[in-house]
Amino acid sequence: MVQPVNDSLYAQALAPFLAETERLRPPDCELIDAHTHLGLDEDGRSLALPQLLSLLDAAGARRACVFPLHDPERRPGYRVPNDRVLEWSRESDGRLVPFCRLDPSEDPVGETERCLAAGARGIKLHPRAQDFVFDGGEMDGVFRLAESERVPILIHAGRGLPPLAEGLVDLALRHPGAVVILAHGAICDQGILTSALAEHPGVLYDISCFFPLDVIELFARVPPERIVFASDPPYGAPATTLYLALRVARQARLSDATTRALLGGTMAALLDGDGLPAASAPLRGASITLSGRLARVYGYASLVGPALFSGIADQAVAMLEMAVAACRDPDPGEDEEALQTIGAALAAAGKLMVEEGGARPAIDLVYRSIVRAATEVPDPA
Ligand SMILES: [Zn+2]
């Protein structure tokens, strides 16, 4: 990661978010990242073992589940990237739990058996990258193996997918003993998947999402014990997503015990062979409370990241300026501190964005700002 030219500007804007993280984090809480990658992706992104470990350290996470990216050397059947991930996990002193990534068209059952024998403790499926939709019976063998070997299957359920909910629901319901982790809050079809899989005893949802509302809504739809911390590096960062997790937990009024389950307790039970904790009812009703002032900030600020990712820098700057303007309010009411913190963070992000290597810290500040704006709730009386 390139360091921004203006390190102190970033550090200053970040400070209130870090202080809040420490305040909200329950003591003696294990943080486990359920979704991380190592190696190289076709899109040019990459992550090496020392980088991943230092990202985990920055968030205070000891353990993580790890699997390959969409590796250019994946043929045949992900063998080479899976072997690399297995080796890096062995070098990680027990911190990384390797999952094997599969291509359904290239002997997925054989590759799973090979990797489990070599120490893998889970399976990763990516229906967009590997271009499949669970409509036939081709994944039943893998699910059967996951059931009998008691290893979870993490499935990309984020952007860019054709409708696959029906096939996936049928497959999961044919294998009630399998633990399935739907990544990215199952945003590809969150409504259908959370409803249709409500009776499945082993479906988890990971919170690696860019838009906090996707995670907030999960708490209205599924038991809190089925929602797990995950950040998807190299695309996300554990420290940034930890802020999301803690803010959303506070907004949903999670107890310390349930917050611990969200941050790592549920995954620890799963990875350590204790089985999933019992599930309670979803916590929240259908609506959330958001101040009008912060809703305006959220609206503009949430458009900055997508504009930046699409290379439309002018649009990113314009939306950022609108968001900063929405933070200027001589009559801020109970939003005073939030508007001040977010306004300063977004102003700093605007300066960092145009500096060499400043895009990543800028996005980090924008992300934390939209998290704060979307989760601001009055303190319980
Ligand atoms: Zn991922």
Per-residue pLDDT tens over the stretch 268-306: 999 998 889 888 888 877 788 899 999 999 999 999 999
Grade residue 6 by pLDDT with cuts at 50, 70 and 90: low
The Å distance, Cα 162 to ligand 1 centre, comes to: 17
CA of 65 to the centre of ligand 1 (A): 11
Q: 156 C-alpha to center of ligand 1: Å?
A: 7
| CB-side neighbour CA atoms (13 Å) of 254 | 28
Question: Domains, the chain, ranges and CATH?
Answer: 26-271 (3.20.20.140), 292-375 (no CATH)
For residues 35-56, one letter each, b for 16 or more C-beta atoms within 10 angstroms of the residue's C-beta and e for the rest, the string is bbbbbbbeeeeebebeebbebb
Over the stretch 323-337, which tens digit does the pLDDT of each residue have? 999 999 999 999 999
pLDDT digits (tens, 9 = 90+) for 150-173: 999 999 999 888 778 888 999 999
Question: Exposed, middle or buried: residue 329 (CB in 10 Å: 0-12, 13-18, 19+)?
Answer: middle
Name the token pair of 181: 């982790």
Which phi-psi region, left, alpha or beta, contains residue 32 (left: φ > 0; alpha: ψ -120 to 50)? beta
Rounded to the nearest angstrom, the distance between the alpha carbon of 277 and the centre of ligand 1 is 25
Contact 42, 10 (CB under 8 A): no
How many angstroms separate the alpha carbon of residue 160 from the centre of ligand 1? 13
Please tell me the distance between residue 9's alpha carbon and the centre of ligand 1 in angstroms.
30
Q: Report the separation in Å between the CA atom of 50 and the middle of ligand 1, taken as the mean of its atom positions.
A: 18
**Number of residues that make up the chain:** 381
CA of 154 to the centre of ligand 1 (A): 9
Q: Is the pLDDT of residue 11 over 50?
A: yes
In whole angstroms, give the CA distance from residue 259 to residue 248. 10
What mean pLDDT is predicted for residues 345-357? 91
Q: Tokens representing 74?
A: 């994946």
SS (H, E, C) 161-224: CCCCHHHHHHHHHHCCCCCEEECHHHCCCHHHHHHHCCCCCCEEEECCCCCHHHHHHHHHHCCH
The set of long-range contacts for 341-348, using a CB threshold of 8 Å and a minimum separation of 24, is 341/16, 341/17, 341/372, 342/294, 342/297, 342/301, 342/369, 342/372, 342/373, 344/12, 344/13, 345/13, 345/14, 345/17, 345/369, 346/301, 346/320, 347/13, 348/9, 348/10, 348/12, 348/13
Distance of CA 163 to the CA centre of its chain: 21
Confidence of residue 379 (pLDDT cuts 50, 70, 90): low
- Cα 334 to middle of ligand 1, angstroms: 38
pLDDT tier, 72 (very low <50, low <70, confident <90, very high otherwise):
confident
Question: How remote is the CA of residue 343 from the centroid of ligand 1, in Å?
Answer: 31
Q: What spacing in Å lies between the alpha carbon of 66 and ligand 1's midpoint?
A: 9
Q: How far apart are CA 324 and CA 136, in angstroms?
A: 50
User: What is the average per-residue pLDDT within 16-39?
Assistant: 95
Cα(51)–Cα(286) distance, integer angstroms: 40
Distance CA 293, CA 297 (A): 7
